[in-house]
């Protein structure tokens, strides 16, 4: 969904892409390493590892096109929510969320690095 929305925001017709669904992140990584597909959209650290291993190049980021979005949801059984572990988890989660929001706000004043390489520029120009 996020990649489809990012394409929409970039003016790319997602319907013209041949999407291959091989499963979760590890399966996607394995398939790309085996030569299946011409590009892959993943969250870190998979793309960074592909680049470090010389398998591919990071050429674009979906985040700037999509904007702020929460990718994770939490669910729990009612009985677990009453436990001490759940209470400790909730406190830690709340503190971490506050930290991440503060960090995001602080970074709004700092330029976000964009991959600037001949490969990135030619790929972005080709799909723009």
d(CA 9, CA 66): 7
Identify the pLDDT of residue 93. Answer: 87
Identify the pLDDT of residue 84. Answer: 94
Q: Which two tokens stand for residue 97?
A: 């969320």
Identify the pLDDT of residue 97. Answer: 84
Q: Which two tokens stand for residue 82?
A: 């009453």
Q: Model's pTM, two decimal places?
A: 0.52
Q: Is residue 44 part of a domain?
A: yes
Local structure of 85: helix, strand or coil: helix
Q: Is residue 119 part of a domain?
A: yes
Domain count, the chain: 1
Identify the pLDDT of residue 120. Answer: 46
Q: Is residue 70 part of a domain?
A: yes
Q: Is residue 94 part of a domain?
A: no
Q: What are the pLDDT tens digits along the chain (128 aa)?
A: 677 888 888 888 988 988 888 988 889 999 999 999 888 888 878 888 999 999 999 888 777 777 776 666 678 889 998 999 999 998 998 898 888 888 877 776 554 444 444 444 444 444 44
Closest-CA residue to 59 (of 40, 44, 77, 75):
40
Q: Is residue 103 part of a domain?
A: no
Q: Is residue 54 part of a domain?
A: yes
Write the DSSP symbol of residue 18.
-
Identify the pLDDT of residue 59. Answer: 86
Domain ranges, residue 45: 2-74+113-127
């Amino acid at each position: 969904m996020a990649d489809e929305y990012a394409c929409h925001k970039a003016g790319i017709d997602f319907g013209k892409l041949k999407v291959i669904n091989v499963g979760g992140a590890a399966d996607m990584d394995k398939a790309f390493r085996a030569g299946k597909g011409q590009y892959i959209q993943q969250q870190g650290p998979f793309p960074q590892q592909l680049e470090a291993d010389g398998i591919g190049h990071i050429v674009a980021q979906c985040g700037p096109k999509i904007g702020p979005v929460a990718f994770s949801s939490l669910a729990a059984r009612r009985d677990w929510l009453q436990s001490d572990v759940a209470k400790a988890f909730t406190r830690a989660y709340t503190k971490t969320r506050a930290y991440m929001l503060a960090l995001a706000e602080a970074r709004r004043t700092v330029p976000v690095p964009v991959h600037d390489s001949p490969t990135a520029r030619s790929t972005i120009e080709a799909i723009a």
